[in-house]
Copies of this chain bind each other. A is one copy, B any other.
Amino acid sequence: MTAEEENLRADARANRDRILDVAREALAADPTASLSSIAKAAGVGAGTLYRHFPSREALVLGVYRTEIDALVDLAPRLLAKHPPLEAFRLWCDRLAKFGRMKYGIADIVHAATSEQNIQETYGPLINAVREMMDACKGSGDIHPEVDAEDLLMLLGLLWRIPPNAAGQARTKRLLALIFRGMGAKNTAAPDAVPS
């Protein structure tokens, strides 16, 4: 997953970084900012932007790469400190919270689920989920036939929920439903969700 960043000619790499910098600001200010305006602001042609990020989704994923990596890193750390099921619950809460912060951009990420050019960023996320699920299966906390990709699909849904009070309640209900659907017993207090 670093292949896209290494083996790049110096100028290409500089352009890539510059585009990401500009895009981070532009998208934060307005999630619908046009790609051509981002290209112009970064001082590159549209072709250059599209070569590096073939779609809006790819660019967004690039921009939030850091946050996604952090989420991936979090998984083993939680597993080390908590029983599997609890670790998994906490991780999902964090994932939901991340989506809540990025609402308006989240649907783009979600739409990207099945695109190949996204798999590179998406893959590590799947691995993190799988790792946690395997731990939970090992401890008998969830059904063994539940699939990591299935689950990530469901979790991606959480990112499409508006970040208001009603949305937070819905997130809580859906997470509860999903965990129950995976066969988890009601061990966690439903109010233990950190804000």
Interface residues of A (CB under 8 A from B): 107, 111, 113-114, 145-147, 149-150, 153-154, 157, 160, 162, 170, 173-174, 177-183
Contacts and interface: CB of A to CB of B under 8 A. Distances in A.
A146 B173 contact: yes
Contacts of A146: 173, 177
A107 B181 CA distance: 24
A173 B145 contact: yes
Contacts of A177: 146, 150, 154, 178, 181-182
Given A180-B180, A180-B183, A181-B181, A150 B162 contact: no
A172 to B, nearest CB: 10
Q: Which 10 A-B pairs have the closest CB atoms?
A: A181-B181, A177-B181, A180-B181, A150-B173, A150-B174, A178-B181, A150-B170, A157-B157, A147-B173, A153-B157
Contacts of A179: 181
Nearest to A183: B180
Contacts of A113: 160
Contacts of A114: 160, 162
